[in-house]
Chain A
């Protein structure tokens, strides 16, 4: 079965609900209640967005959000924004490790948060030498998009654990 890839203006999207869209293809086919999800939520935020129906069956894949018309791109981005909560850390307030539990107090674009990580190797991943992904004990996610853009004090506090 060939996979349906969406590029450019092949489809029109309408927002259905918090994380759901309806999709009409250029050939007239209509798919309803599709949930956009990233196939690469860590490494490819804009590319390869799968569209799943209510049964979890994939109906199409958007190759690259950037190629979609602005209106459609915005609809998909809004859904993804609702689905994925990965607060971006802007400042490290405090960072301490005791009895194997790392507690990081941070400022994020979503407000202040306290991240508790028991297994540092599992919970902190450095990607491409600059991006840091955190996964806390409760499976909540956070990220530092570019560690070089943190202030010096924040950088020094987190460096030990990278």
Chain B
């Protein structure tokens, strides 16, 4: 941008060059955590800002903005015009637009509304710019050859606010009502702060505290809630553990009796008694142990089943945005692998920790009773084991994360390629597919091998230390036996050695507990990521009319999947009940996105979508979707019977209703011809049926649902002419009296439409009845012309071939 352009409008109010610029511009962004919707007054007037303004910023605003101007809103940005991280401020008053950026020559640029003909956000890659267009223009497209000026650069963090600002500036420049336009800006600010700035989850209201970030103990209490239903079984198991633990302490003591009293004195009677006691001990230990193991297995499996159920259930209610960004493999891994890890850890915590603790205490008491000096000697390795465990924990934790990620990547390859095996075969891509899998599997192997070095080395070092400890006992204890056999008998030494080896069992357990704790913690975080993830928002649960009439309105709707490109811009449509609306446009124009917004797959758009005058976000989600029939281009069938596939989502329909639905959908005849008719079980994703047959089943589903509103997304795009006609008949029977939106490439399928919407580049460029649009000779007219020509050519070719 030229200097001339930068300074052209800065002659109104200037900050003295050399004076300090925007506050804290070099501060790391981590310190800017106080993001919240700010409504602090400025000069006694309400001011909207996305961040709390620092005193120096307020001072600059005070100095720069004349007292007769009312500051309406402020956007604190994060980039300088030269793409450096630095604070910038857009301050919009009732008379001027002020841009503050330390990289500006005078630190401020000012525009009056009268000099701006159009304001828009130009999206670049990883950044965007508020651009003012100074010349008059006509038409829908911006002529970039005309004079336009980049005003302020910012990252996508504040892009949606700048969208609202651009809309406001342009509207005010065009003479629209400031208060009305301000309401739109306020809505954008509010929307920005309906998400938690820390975790990004939706808040119940703007500025409300985030439930997720409030409590750090939430994770523990969440996991504990899965254990509570089985607390009595687990407590009973704990009692059984006490018995088996006590029983396990008996054999070493019996060893002492056998070695010191029975064997040297030839007491055969005592021998039988000792063997009998040992037998009884073992029976108790292993018999009760078996019962305990069974009960633990049952309760453990129940816990993991509950957890899986919850994760799966939650996965059903997660918004599409979650699935857009999360690989299927990672979700499956969480439901299968991670829940198992959590289960085993929960059992360790609730059972083994207690058992091992009491075992440890019991052994120490017995050992102290036998010989306190030897007991102290046997404790020497303990500090090494404990310290080593902490070091091990720190070393191994990152590996567990990495291993999980590598495994998720492998799972993703599997979920991608196994269902797509037909494509792989068709393109003879088996070799490359195998190589790809090998590569990811190799990554997993390499990480796992690295981790194995630590996981295998550590226990062996621990064992070595422990063994060295027992050598000490042998050395010192043996000397005591040799020196004074009456006070310290060989039997006592044998017994002590046995207790020592038993003692290191719990020590080892606690040393390794950190390892399983780390694994479990990672698994818990990942599972909680789903369980705690924000579900599809349904703030209006239970609120809905009895039945929808089918009036649909889009009001100033803007939407983007990611912030780098707008998918839909400024959509305004009104569809009356019973209207049959055709949506046409080139591929990628945004037709399906319109339907997806109406389906409430995505709720994070600007503007409003109303059905029967109610914002669809203020209507019960379940009710709303139950009122809609959606027939997609690639209908999804499940591995189930045709009957159940038609009845999908419908509670206990009558058989005749299913048959009627199939009949309306022109599906009954082909179903009846199948050997197993309605009981025919389809393969995964409906294999075994042709595309047209699957489509007719999906129409039958929609018929059975009896919806108020119907959406068809290229329903006849991938079928032959004959099947298209069958489907078309079915559609025409289905849409009678219902509001219908049909996306179609083949314009012939829109012959019943009374309204046409032409979408191009995310904008509506034409709308009206087919006749009106034909008379207008615009884009729709061109599409009709092209298609008619193409049809004629095809017809001629077919006739030639026939001849």
Contact = CB atoms under 8 A, between A and B. Distances in A.
A138 interface: yes
Contact of B405 (A85, A94, A120): A120
Chain A interface residue number, banded: 35 or more
Interface string A22-63: 000000000011010000010000000000001110000000
B525 A114 contact: no
B212 A111 contact: no
A119 to B, nearest CB: 5
Contacts of B157: 138, 140
Nearest to B147: A17
A162 B401 CA distance: 9
Interface string A70-107: 00000000000111111100000110010111010100
A130 B344 CA distance: 37
Given A100-B525, A112-B85, A54 B125 contact: no
Contacts of B408: 121
A111 B86 contact: yes
A121 B330 contact: yes
B391 to A, nearest CB: 15
A86 B127 CA distance: 9
Nearest to B1: A18
Interface string B123-161: 011110100000000000111110010100001110100
A83 B254 CA distance: 83
Contact of B145 (A32, A108, A113, A122): A32
A129 to B, nearest CB: 10
A105 B562 CA distance: 23
Interface string B74-107: 0000010001111000000000000000000000
Given A82-B83, A99-B213, A138 B156 contact: yes
Chain B interface residue number, banded: 35 or more
Given A99-B528, A101-B199, A33 B401 contact: no
A85 to B, nearest CB: 4
Given A100-B526, A105-B30, A20 B564 contact: no
A139 B155 CA distance: 9
A16 B5 CA distance: 13
B398 A17 contact: no
B137 to A, nearest CB: 12
A138 B563 contact: yes
Given A54-B144, A82-B124, A110 B525 contact: no
Given A19-B124, A140-B156, A141-B125, A111 B526 contact: no
Contact of B85 (A83, A111, A138, A139): A111
Contacts of B526: 100
Contact of B402 (A20, A86, A113, A162): A162
B3 to A, nearest CB: 14
Contacts of A116: 200
A138 B156 CA distance: 6
B85 A108 contact: yes
Nearest to B216: A98
A8 interface: no
Most chain B CB inside 10 Å of its own CB: which residue of A32, A97, A110: A110
A121 B327 contact: yes
Nearest to A35: B144
A34 B87 CA distance: 31
Interface in B503-545: 525-526, 528-529, 532
A12 interface: no
B656 interface: no
Contacts of A160: 397-398, 401-402
B84 A110 contact: yes
Nearest to A101: B199
A141 B155 CA distance: 10
Interface string B278-317: 0000000000000000000000000000000000000000
Interface of A: 16-20, 32-33, 35, 41, 54-56, 81-87, 93-94, 97, 99-101, 103, 105, 108, 110-114, 116, 118-122, 137-141, 159-162
Interface of B: 1, 26-30, 32, 79, 83-86, 124-127, 129, 141-145, 148, 150, 155-157, 159, 198-200, 212-213, 325-327, 330, 397-398, 401-402, 405, 408-409, 525-526, 528-529, 532, 562-564, 761
8 A-B pairs with the lowest CB-CB distances in the bound complex, closest first: A111-B85, A100-B529, A160-B398, A112-B28, A85-B127, A85-B126, A141-B126, A114-B29
16 contacts: A33-B144, A54-B141, A54-B144, A82-B124, A84-B124, A101-B198, A110-B83, A111-B26, A111-B85, A121-B327, A121-B405, A122-B327, A139-B156, A140-B155, A140-B156, A160-B402
